[in-house]
Structure 1
């Protein structure tokens, strides 16, 4: 395998950062350039990335995201937003209607573009020896992000990315067997339960080793619980804020 593929497949999410080491302006700009060079729908470039370094603001955003301390501890926090505000300006300039925001397609386009951009930023960061962890918790209380970051209509925070110099790098977390996610010609429902059972055993052993036997939970039990009652803050807060930002799907 080549160096880039080795870098990608060696990914780990980092939550322990060296407080004595900063992330330079040039490093952040390299990440942003990589993110914005990524593919996007119709060349609409429906992504904006807000860099936050100010400690008080990071502390407020960390609290809004579910008290995730690494947002405060790392030197840089990037907030990735789907952004149709520029499309609104284009519509006004050419006397047309921004019909897209009346359809769920806007959220699919914007979220897809954010995901592609974030993935490119992650690769860029890790290629420079930096550690990162994505933060989906921005959608626990997205209105706080809207207010603190002064987001205009048609802009919504989808994910965050903590960036810093690693103090500790965790063991790599196992993934589902490839046969579950690499499907050929058509979807295969039969392979999914078998793959899940295999993965549950793998994750249970991984968690037990990582926690010195204190936690041997498996993947399916965590996912089942989270998608039953664990996402209540997201359910309660995301949709109202999306609609307040002008998306009426």
Structure 2
């Protein structure tokens, strides 16, 4: 197993950071440039990254994301936003109308590009011995967060990434059995026995994080919408045929 694979398989999410530590600019630059090296649909690079370093702004961002303290504690909070503003500008440059602005596929394109980009940033940060945690709460209040970040039309917050020096150790959380997520040739639906086994394996982490099992957590999360008015807020940003 080479060092890159070891690094990837040793990923952990850190929820407590040493305060007041700045990431050297050359290291942050290396992280961002690694993120930019990720593949993207038609090389469109349908994302932008906004770094929040100022302590007061990190405090506010922590509040907007659901009062998550590690956002305020980390050295830098990277906001990954779906970005079709550049597409709009390019369309205007060449006399095109950007008619597909309302297509749902734009969300899939942006989400894929952002996922690849953020994973590169995460891996680069961990290779420099920083801790990270991904923050889905960036889309908890899309309207307020967009105003806070001064986002134009066709730009929308999707996910954030805390980067900093960990203040605690964190164990590697076991993943689902490979057989539950990897199939050859066709999809396999008989995963219940594998889920039951994983429920037992994840118990030490489940109790620490306040839930009983993996499957129970999934069932509760998807029993009703997690973020209210999400579709309406997405439309406000110009996606899904909004505005």
TM tier relative to shorter chain: over 0.9
Once the two structures are TM-superposed, the CA of residue 174 in structure 1 deviates from its matched residue by 1.1
In the alignment, the residues of structure 2 paired with residue 141 and residue 245 of structure 1 have an alpha-carbon distance, to the nearest angstrom, of 12
Q: Which residue of 1 aligns with 2:79?
A: 79
Indicate conservation of the 8 Å contact 2:206/2:214, yes or no: no
Question: Pairwise mapping of residues 157-236 of structure 1 onto structure 2 (< 5 A)?
Answer: 157-190=157-190, 192-208=191-207, 210=208, 217-229=212-224, 231-232=225-226, 234=227, 236=228
Once the two structures are TM-superposed, the CA of residue 200 in structure 1 deviates from its matched residue by 0.6
In the alignment, the residues of structure 2 paired with residue 75 and residue 205 of structure 1 have an alpha-carbon distance, to the nearest angstrom, of 29
In the alignment, the residues of structure 2 paired with residue 217 and residue 158 of structure 1 have an alpha-carbon distance, to the nearest angstrom, of 28
Is 1:239 aligned to 2:234, yes or no? no
In the alignment, the residues of structure 2 paired with residue 205 and residue 57 of structure 1 have an alpha-carbon distance, to the nearest angstrom, of 35
Corresponding pairs, count = 241
The Cα offsets for residues 158-205 of structure 1, whole Å up to 9 and x where unpaired, read as 100011011112111111100000111110001x11110111111124
Question: Pairwise mapping of residues 128-143 of structure 1 onto structure 2 (< 5 A)?
Answer: 128-143=128-143
The Cα offsets for residues 143-165 of structure 1, whole Å up to 9 and x where unpaired, read as 12100110001101110001101
In the alignment, the residues of structure 1 paired with residue 92 and residue 173 of structure 2 have an alpha-carbon distance, to the nearest angstrom, of 48
- Structure 1: gaps spanning 5 or more residues: none
The Cα offsets for residues 47-78 of structure 1, whole Å up to 9 and x where unpaired, read as 10000011121111111111000000112000
Once the two structures are TM-superposed, the CA of residue 206 in structure 1 deviates from its matched residue by 4.1
Higher helix share: 1
In the alignment, the residues of structure 1 paired with residue 107 and residue 101 of structure 2 have an alpha-carbon distance, to the nearest angstrom, of 8
C-alpha RMSD over aligned residues: 1.4
Residues 63, 237 of structure 1: CA spacing in aligned structure 2 closer, same or farther, 3 A cutoff? farther
Question: Pairwise mapping of residues 69-108 of structure 1 onto structure 2 (< 5 A)?
Answer: 69-108=69-108
In the alignment, the residues of structure 2 paired with residue 113 and residue 20 of structure 1 have an alpha-carbon distance, to the nearest angstrom, of 31
Question: Pairwise mapping of residues 33-52 of structure 1 onto structure 2 (< 5 A)?
Answer: 33-52=33-52
Once the two structures are TM-superposed, the CA of residue 237 in structure 1 deviates from its matched residue by 3.4
In the alignment, the residues of structure 2 paired with residue 237 and residue 76 of structure 1 have an alpha-carbon distance, to the nearest angstrom, of 29
Indicate conservation of the 8 Å contact 1:16/1:166, yes or no: yes
Once the two structures are TM-superposed, the CA of residue 123 in structure 1 deviates from its matched residue by 0.4
Question: Pairwise mapping of residues 5-16 of structure 1 onto structure 2 (< 5 A)?
Answer: 5-16=5-16
SS at match of 1:143: helix
SS at match of 2:132: strand
In the alignment, the residues of structure 2 paired with residue 147 and residue 123 of structure 1 have an alpha-carbon distance, to the nearest angstrom, of 29
Residues 216, 106 of structure 1: CA spacing in aligned structure 2 closer, same or farther, 3 A cutoff? closer
